[in-house]
Chains A and B, each alone.
Chain A
């Protein structure tokens, strides 16, 4: 446990809990899969409890559920307009899934699913393909107006078009790395400072180590609320960018 306590990387290790295979693909049930299941189970439990009463004057839990609902609904409506509201369940699911996964990851010894690039990349690609296919299905060739901006002199238009194309294609990369890097870096920082405390005790004994460990302990103490904030902000940013990308699919001409 001490070794796991000081090594800032081991928290990202995936461990198989049950072997599972489909053809050549190893889809074993891992600690990551367990945390995903816990995440959606918690969300379902929370919403089940908070929406069971449906009272006119909301209680605390119902109020939180309604505030989350209106928070995401307002965000999507202001970014993508009324036509974008058909994606509301999708954006809400993204936000709440990432938020719960991030927050659950803050509990000591819990695995953080969003600290793996493949998870955030899958989510970002999901957004990317939904935006692309819906945009083409809804607007046909009109979707290409996204890469052919109006109000730009014809001489530089091709260059702007190339830039727009590159930025469009790189969207899922920035979208996924922003979330992943924030979560992962935060967890490494926390683990490094927390690990310092243990190492100092190992090096200078209980009394000396505890005295020397005050600084890294205070650092860990200060970093924890910061990371809780980052958990929320990154979920918010991911959902907000999804809304902005979706607005391109709904209104490509701006």
Chain B
């Protein structure tokens, strides 16, 4: 399809009034890229311009670009090194912080424990002292009660003798002696 269109185009173009092909020296009808009259000049100028370009590139521009790229990559490598070093430092700082924190926690725990123990001991000592005091007081009280009871028992004998003496006197009109009454009671 495209080839057909191209062919038509070429035919139509050929019908047009002759465009002066290739100047005066060019052979009539020679396809310009095959016109050997112009080979020498093209080779010459190509070599000349390409040599200048090669010289400029190899001596000036490419080293310049290469150097810039080199500098950048070394700079980036340096920065990465610095960053990893800083990260390591930060990690170490974090580790030492954690260690300090753990130490402090352990210490605080110790302090609390010893405080608790000493308080416990104090409480126990005071409770013991109080217990001992209470026991002593109870003993003293018991002693007093026993004394009172004995006294009371002794009093009961005397009261009973009195009462018996009085009863006998009232019944018989004769007052027995205390000793007799006591003898009779026992």
Query: What residues of chain A have their CB less than 8 Å away from a CB belonging to chain B?
Result: 3-4, 6-10, 12-16, 20, 22, 25-30, 32-33, 36-37, 39-40, 43-44, 47-48, 51, 54, 56, 58, 62, 65-66, 69-70, 88-90, 92-93, 96-97, 113, 115-119, 122-123, 126, 180, 184, 188-189, 192-193, 195-196, 199
Would you call B19 and A3 a contact (CB within 8 A)?
Answer: yes
A/B interface sample: 25 pairs, CB < 8 A: A3-B16, A3-B19, A12-B33, A14-B32, A26-B37, A40-B49, A43-B53, A47-B60, A51-B61, A54-B67, A65-B65, A89-B54, A90-B54, A93-B50, A93-B53, A96-B57, A113-B42, A116-B33, A122-B43, A122-B46, A123-B50, A192-B5, A193-B5, A195-B12, A199-B12
Instruction: Known pairs A14-B35, A25-B40, A54-B67; list 20 more (Cβ under 8 Å).
Output: A6-B13, A7-B13, A7-B19, A14-B26, A25-B41, A26-B40, A27-B45, A32-B38, A32-B42, A36-B45, A37-B45, A39-B49, A40-B50, A40-B56, A47-B61, A89-B54, A90-B58, A97-B49, A97-B53, A122-B42
**CB nearest neighbor in B for A48:** B61
Q: What 0/1 pattern do residues 1 to 24 of B give for CB contact below 8 A with A?
A: 010011001101100110101110
B170 within 8 A of A: no
A54:B53 contact, CB within 8 angstroms: no
Q: Counting CB contacts under 8 A, is B71 at the interface?
A: yes
Name the prevailing secondary structure of the B interface residues: helix
A96 vs B58: C-alpha distance in the bound complex, in angstroms?
Answer: 13
Cross-chain contact A7 with B46 (CB below 8 angstroms): no
Closest to B68 in A: A54
Bound complex: CA A13 to CA B25 (Å): 12
Tally of contacts, chain A with chain B, CB under 8 A? 167
- What chain A residues lie within 8 Å of B71 (beta carbons)? 56
Establish whether residues A40 and B33, one from each chain, have CB atoms under 8 Å apart when the complex forms: no
Does B136 make an interface contact (CB < 8 A)? no
A10 near B10 with CB under 8 A, answer no
A30 to chain B, nearest CB (A): 6
- The listed residue with most A CB atoms (<10 A of its CB), out of B34, B40, B41, B72, is B41
